[in-house]
Amino acid sequence: MRHLRSANLRKRRAQRLTLRTLLVFIVVVFIIGVPIFLSRLSTLRINTIEISGNTIVRENDVRALAEKEVSGSYMMVFPKSNSIILSKKKIKEDILASFPRILSVETDVKKFTKLVINIVEREPSYLWCASALNNNCFLVDSEGFVFDEAPVFSGDLYFIFREGLLENPIGQYILPEGKFKLVTTFLDKTKELGLRADSLVLKDTDEYILETKGGGKIVFSLEEDVNHTLSNLESVLLDKDLGVYENGELIVKMIDLRYGNKVIIKRE
């Protein structure tokens, strides 16, 4: 009798173990299988890419990059085109890295199957040229970022920065943000004073040479307080006894503002 009870107990234990093993198997299959099944549903996969906002950047180039990002699979199981696990951040980062002309990118998914990419392109505000010949020039935005080669006819359309960068400067800033703002503040003030300048030469020592249309030059340094430097320049330009300025042009060879209150004027 005791032997029979032990046999029945072992049988029940074996049955419970089998049941538990089966339940674990079903749960594992459910946890793994359902996500795989859902990830492969056509109603959850990107089949259309819509691009807007581009004017210069070619739509096909952006589309090719986006299609590459939604091709293939993760761990050879989960399709990258699945809209739920789609890495919109990665697509955005890759577009910005591949196209310097693009200022910003917004990505969105609509109805689980359409990837929408909205682009804002940079607008040119300046040129950067490698030399005074102005034959190797690049477009620069309002923040000082160099983003594309300039058309050959653009030399008279924009203010020109020269030197200070590599010959292929795309993707670089002309100057660090703080310095660029100081330089553009100086340029804006010279416009207010009526000076007609067309280029600025960047030196390696925080010194700059502003070249005016009449041929005269203004040398200044960021090591000096910009507002103080501008005040000195205004005083010199408005002093008729000095005779350095006439009809928007310098009539001297150079005004040097690098030495605090001491302003050096070089005449022809």
Q: Say whether both 212 and 229 belong to one domain.
A: yes
Q: Say whether both 60 and 112 belong to one domain.
A: yes
47 pLDDT tier (thresholds 50, 70, 90): very high
Q: Say whether both 136 and 253 belong to one domain.
A: yes
**Which stretch, 92-101, 144-153, 199-208, 238-247, has highest mean pLDDT?**
92-101
Per-residue pLDDT reduced to its tens digit, 161-171 = 998 887 789 99
* Contacts by 191-197, CB closer than 8 A, 24 or more apart: 193/233, 193/234, 193/237, 194/248, 195/237, 195/245, 195/248, 195/249, 195/250, 196/248, 196/249, 197/159
Residue range 111-116: average pLDDT? 94
Residue range 24-30: average pLDDT? 62
Q: Say whether both 77 and 117 belong to one domain.
A: yes
1 pLDDT tier (thresholds 50, 70, 90): low
Q: Which domain holds residue 117?
A: 43-121
Q: Say whether both 106 and 155 belong to one domain.
A: no
Domain C-terminal end among 121, 155, 187? 121
Q: Say whether both 162 and 247 belong to one domain.
A: yes
Residue range 230-253: average pLDDT? 88
**Residues of the chain with pLDDT > 90: what percent?**
51
Q: Say whether both 7 and 52 belong to one domain.
A: no
d(CA 189, CA 233): 10
Asked if 172 and 165 count as a contact pair (C-beta separation under 8 A), the reply is yes
Q: Say whether both 63 and 140 belong to one domain.
A: no
d(CA 78, CA 39): 6
Q: Say whether both 97 and 69 belong to one domain.
A: yes
Instruction: Mean pLDDT check: name the lowest of 12-16, 113-117, 169-173, 241-245.
Output: 12-16
Q: Say whether both 177 and 112 belong to one domain.
A: no
24-63 in b/e form (b: 16+ CB < 10 A) is: eeeeeeeeeeeeeeebeeeebbbeebebebbeebeeeebe
The answer to whether residue 201 scores a pLDDT higher than 60 is: yes
Q: Say whether both 27 and 59 belong to one domain.
A: no
Residue range 187-197: average pLDDT? 90
The answer to whether residue 18 scores a pLDDT higher than 90 is: no
Q: Say whether both 144 and 252 belong to one domain.
A: yes
Domain C-terminal end among 95, 121, 147? 121
Domain C-terminal end among 96, 121, 146? 121
Domains identified in the chain, total number: 3
Higher-pLDDT residue of 161, 72: 161
